[in-house]
Amino acid sequence: ARHATAGVPGRAQAALEILIEMVGNQAKAIVHNEKSRKFVAPLALTVFIWVFLMNSMDFLPVDLLPTLWRTMSGDPHAYLRVVPTADLNGSLGLSIGVLLLCFFYGIKVKGLGGWIHELFTAPFGNHPLLYLPNLAMQIIEYLAKTVSHGMRLFGNMYAGELLFLLIALMGMAAPSMSSIGGPLIWLGHVITGSMWALFHIFIVVLQAFIFMMLTLVYIGQAHDSH
């Protein structure tokens, strides 16, 4: 029986193959340069898995790693943020990395001269009086895309982390309540915590998918001429 099923992919392999195919199809639809896709498609897959795993750290008990860190460091006031994407430094760091890749592919596809020329001639047209407005609009566009790319991920994960903390406070408050109020608020803590944890699974996957898709879109736009 073992030999008969040796060539049949398991669930993990099947899920990975589905994920790779999905990312590959998205990359093919958005990034039309076949040579670029050889790097961009694996990059998009890496971004999705990386962001998904960082988001998934939100499922750990909110005080587990901070407590371990305080115990190991010997400092009762030691501070630890567990979810990297719930920190603006982490999410903006990822989006800035995507911005640098957009610069790289813009220069690679159009040449340094063509890329600089586009900065001064798009979107309003090639006229000396429009050079500065064009440059200003290009800078605003790059900044807006980068900030919104990182802030979207940060905002969703930070809000989710705050809700987990608020729900956890319900359980901590239960022992100090009256004989009736204590069990009720503890029950509310269990129910709302379970419901939010289940819904947060969807948010964790969705935010990783959105970040990956925007990465593909922005790099795809870097290949287009205006």
The answer to whether residues 163 and 103 touch, using CB atoms and an 8 Å cutoff, is no
The answer to whether residue 73 is catalytic is no
The answer to whether residue 36 is catalytic is no
Cα separation, 54 vs 212, whole angstroms:
14
The answer to whether residues 51 and 153 touch, using CB atoms and an 8 Å cutoff, is yes
Cα–Cα distances (Å) from 121 to 18, 60, 99, 116, 137, in that order, read 42, 50, 20, 9, 10
Please identify which of the residues 36, 91, 134, 156 carries the catalytic annotation: 156
Please identify which of the residues 73, 89, 148, 194 carries the catalytic annotation: 148
The answer to whether residue 148 is catalytic is yes
Token couple for 94: 């990822």
Please identify which of the residues 152, 176, 178, 179 carries the catalytic annotation: 152
Point out the residues that are catalytic.
148, 152, 156
